[in-house]
Structure formats: C-alpha cells, structure tokens
Amino acid sequence: MILNIALIGKSNVGKSSLFNLLTNSKSALTSDLPSTTRDRQYGFLKIKEKKINIIDTAGINNIKRKFFNLIEKQAYKQTILAIQEFHLIFFLVDARYELTIVDYFILKLIRKENKNIFLLINKIDLMKRENSFIDFYNLGIKNIFKISVIHKIGYLNLLKNIYNFLKKREKKIFLENNKINKYINIKICFLGKTNAGKSTLINSLLNSNRVITSSTKNTTRDMIEISLINKKIKYIFTDTAGINKKRKKKDFLNYIFEKKSFDVVKKNQIAIIVIDSYVGISSKDLSIITFLINQNVAFFIIFNKWDLISKERKKKIKQENKYRLKFIRNIKIIYLSAIKKTNLKKIFLQIKIIYNESKKIFSTSSLIKIINKATKKHSLPMGVTGKIIKLKYAHLGRKNPIFIIIHGTQVQYISQTYKKYLIRFLQKELKIPNTPIKLFFKNKKNPYT
C-alpha cells in the first residue's frame, strides 16, 4: 500500500524546499516571500524501491477564516483536503522563532483528523538562541526531527524514519486484514430471467445439489445464499428469483420477488447475468444490464445451455449477441453449459479479476496525471458561454463502486460523450477494464486568474 505524506505548516518554513529535496525535483517554487505556494504540488519519493506520495501545500498564516481573501480560502481548503486524504503529516516549523497561535491552530487541524505526525524543526543551522527547542517538545509530539533542508542536516535520519514508519504501517495492515478476515470474502449474485439455469449453474459451481432446481418457472421464490471456500477465498453466491418478461398487475407475489432480486444487487460486489443461449437475449435481459450499468455494478454475462446449440448456429449466435450488446464495453461474456459443467473455471477466474481490480489503490496524483493525459489526447470543447472548460485536479471519493471527483471550471458544460470517454480512458490507464467508474464534476472558481 502506497504511503501518502503531506507537508503542512505556515508560509516560509521550508515546505517547498523539503518537497524538492524529497522528490529530487524543482517543481515547487521556493522564495523568502510568504505564500509562494498557492496550490498543491505532487511528487514521489523512492526509498528502497518503495514509492511514496508527497504533497506540498500552501502555507496558512491566518486563523480568522471569515477574513480570508480568495487565495487564503483556497490555501485553507487545500490544506484541509491534504490532511484528510494523507496518512502521515509532516508539520514544519521554523527553529528560529517561537511558536505562534497559527502553529497551534494548524496542529489542532491535524489532530482533529487523528493523523500520524512528524514534527520537523527546520533551519536549525540559523538558530542563535539556546534552549529554544523546549516549546517544540512541549507540543506532545512523539516524532520530532531537527533538520536543515538547505544543508541536508538530519535528512538521512528523516528518510530512515519514513521507511520505518512505512514498514510498520504495512505490517499493521497485514495483521489487521488477517485478523479480521481469515478468508477473502467475495459476494456474488446471479440475475436473469426465469428458467435461465441460475440454480443449476450454482449447483455445478458447488459440485453438489445445494439449491433446489426444476424446469418449472419461479422455483426459486426467495434469496438463497450459499458459500464455497476454495484456496483461502470464500465465494458467497446468492441465487435470486427469476425475473419475468411480462408481469400482470395482480401478480403481486412475483413483483415482490423481482424487487428483492434488484435489492440484493446492492449487497453484493459482483453480479452475474445468466441468459438462456437457446432463447437468446430478451428485452428483460437488456433491462437488467441497463439497471446494473446505472447502479455502477461490476458484472459479467453468462450464456448458459451452450450444449443445446449446434456447431453451425454457434458462430451466428455469437455475432448476434455482439451486435445486440454493442452498447456495453469491457464486459466479459462466457459461453458454457451448467448441466455439462463446461467452462466453469472461467467464472472463478473472472470473479477474481474483478475483485482484484476493486482492491486497487489510486492516489490523487495519479488520477490528476491521467486526467491531464486524457485532456491532452482529446481536448475539452468550449463551454456554451464561449469560455474554456478546464479540469484542474481529481481525487477518489469512495470505492466499491469507484467514485472519482473532478474539480474544474465550466464543468457543467462537459458533454455525456466526453464523460464516457474519460471513464473509458481512466479504466484503461488504471488497468481496471471490468470495474465501473462514476464521475462527479465539481465547479470551482479559479482565484488566481
């Protein structure tokens, strides 16, 4: 798991200089003038092949937010975001001066988010006062480092402690995961029309008759949850009631079963649509697919009863299916026979692929780079007002499903076509072709123009 470090502190305490030293770059502007850094800077630190995200933030110099100007408001919001998003905070102070009310205000913000803190007392080479470290030690911060960024005093010791922190964090996460979950749990639900063979397919996967199967419609009247453990993975299968093509208004019982089938999707990580190969794709199957797409659910499609199709017809049916499903992309299609138990391994393989994609970690900096790459490849059109649409930065809102928030200007004028292009581009660059992504665009005025 990638470690994220944010550099926080007042202006002119050496954050940008430290950022440049850690990332081995000169991308952050440095100056003796306060508030030189007005936006967040992203970079990477490598220690023993370990990649660490570093962010440089604008300095905070005022605690009275109601009197903030536009730049100060932006700097404050950026700092809060950095504190919330990152795992380790480097709180920088200037060794030459006593702590101020602003320093205590910044420390309060960090502690409010319950973050790990390294206190970095910078510019010790310029100190003239004796016993001036007492105030810093009275802050009650365990990890304190006396450094000089310009002369690299204490730098190697800082790197050593960063690496030790990273290793301890990795070990803690590993132990917690093993303690909480003896097995990896993956929840999968099966959806489809009645008599498509969902129950038979689950029985074949379990290699036992755990589900009642029948050729009579609506045999499965309620949700049936069954588990299978294989190679430290616990597959939790949910068999749902069959969904009818047409339903009479008075058939209230079937309505309840169909509603439960859709509700159960929200409780599962992956959905599998089972279609009868002999019958083909129906309007109800297309409705189910549309529902899953709109709900941002990871899914794939199984065409069952493939053994009933002659060799002459198989090629034609695949072409027809490809044409009817051309509106979806990157969705895996598996042809099999549940009753003959053919191609069942492909189901487990696809489940693992989707699950592994869902566990990937995406840093804010990597998302920003991908968005910039996407807009360079295909430029954003002009807004209806004639103003240029700009995408400034992006970050992960949540996972399962993946929800990415993109900040910019004039974003309300981005077309649906361009949004779909961004989603496909992100899926490709993040290497998660099977995982749905939902984008949320947030309009943000640029205070620097």
| Region of residue 58 (left: phi > 0; alpha: psi -120 to 50; beta: else) | beta
Q: Is 373 annotated as a binding residue?
A: no
147 within some domain: yes
Q: Is residue 449 part of a domain?
A: no
196 is annotated as contributing to ligand binding:
yes
- Whether 202 is covered by a domain: the verdict is yes
CA nearest neighbour of 233 among 349, 333, 361, 336: 349
Q: Are residues 114 and 203 in the same domain?
A: no
Q: Is 136 helix (H, G, I), strand (E, B) or coil?
A: helix
* CATH number of the domain within which 58 lies: 3.40.50.300
| CATH number for the domain that contains residue 376 | 3.30.300.20
Q: Annotated binding residue at 261?
A: no
Consult the annotation and say whether 178 binds a ligand.
no
Domain limit, last residue, from 309, 342, 358: 358
**Is 15 labeled as ligand-binding?**
yes
Q: Establish if 448 belongs to a structural domain.
A: no
Paired sense of beta strands 224-230 and 233-239, if any: antiparallel
Same domain, 133 and 212: no
Q: Which domain holds residue 144?
A: 3-178
Q: Is residue 325 part of a domain?
A: yes
User: How far is residue 406's CA from residue 323's CA, in Å, rounded to a whole number?
Assistant: 33
280 is in an annotated binding site: no
Last residue of a domain, one of 178, 213, 245: 178
CB 73 within 8 A of CB 38: no
| Same domain flag for 351 and 408 | no
7 lies in the same domain as 22: yes
Q: Is 123 annotated as a binding residue?
A: yes
The reported pLDDT for the residue numbered 332 is 93
Q: Residue 396 and residue 419: Cα distance in Å, rounded?
A: 16
Q: What is the pLDDT of residue 246?
A: 52
Residues 260 and 171 in one domain: no
The phi, psi pair for 37, rounded to 5°, reads -80, 115
Domain shared by 200 and 295, yes or no: yes
Could you give the C-alpha distances from 402 to 185, 189, 405, 409, 432, in angstroms and in order?
19, 19, 10, 23, 10
The pLDDT profile of the chain, 449 residues, written as one tens digit per residue, is 688 999 999 988 999 999 999 998 765 444 444 444 445 678 899 998 888 999 998 888 877 766 667 777 777 887 888 888 889 999 999 998 889 999 999 999 999 888 899 999 999 998 866 556 888 988 999 999 999 999 999 999 999 999 999 999 998 888 776 665 577 889 999 998 888 999 889 989 988 544 444 444 444 445 677 888 887 888 889 888 766 555 554 454 344 445 665 677 878 899 999 999 999 999 889 988 988 888 888 999 999 999 999 999 999 999 999 999 988 878 899 999 999 999 999 999 999 999 998 888 888 889 999 999 999 999 887 766 667 888 988 988 887 678 899 998 888 888 888 998 999 999 999 999 888 888 999 887 544 44
Q: Is residue 193 part of an annotated ligand binding site? A: yes
Residue 34 preceded by cis peptide, ω within 30: no
3 state DSSP class of 124: helix
In a domain, 200, yes or no: yes
The reply, when asked if residue 10 is annotated as ligand binding, is: yes
322 is in an annotated binding site: no
Q: Is 304 annotated as a binding residue?
A: yes
Same-domain pairing of 166 and 311: no
Q: Are residues 124 and 237 in the same domain?
A: no
Task: Report whether 306 belongs to an annotated binding site.
Answer: yes
432 known ligand binder: no
Q: What is the pLDDT of residue 27?
A: 56
Among 336, 358, 380, give the residue marking a domain's end.
Answer: 358
pLDDT on residue 7: 95
CA 245, CA 283: separation in Å to the nearest integer? 7
User: Per the annotation, does 24 bind a ligand?
Assistant: no
The total number of structural domains that make up the chain: 3
Alpha-carbon gap, residue 67 to 76, rounded angstroms? 12
Instruction: Kindly state whether residue 142 falls inside one of the protein's structural domains.
Output: yes
DSSP letter string, 159-228 = HHHHHHHHHHHHHHHHHHHHHH-SSEEEEEEEEEBTTSSHHHHHHHHHTS--S---SSTT---S-EEEEE
Residue 345 annotated in ligand binding: no
Same domain, 409 and 354: no
Residue 267 among known ligand-binding residues: no
* Residue 178 confidence (pLDDT): 67
Asked whether residue 157 is marked as a ligand-binding residue, the answer is no
Q: Is residue 149 part of a domain?
A: yes
Same domain, 306 and 414: no
Q: Are residues 144 and 236 in the same domain?
A: no
pLDDT digits (tens, 9 = 90+) for 55-81: 998 888 877 766 667 777 777 887 888
E strand intervals along 70-176: 88-94, 116-122, 143-146
- Tell me if 222 is assigned to a ligand binding site: no
Number of helices (H), then strands (E), belonging to the chain: the values are 12, 15
| Pair (195, 339) in one structural domain | yes
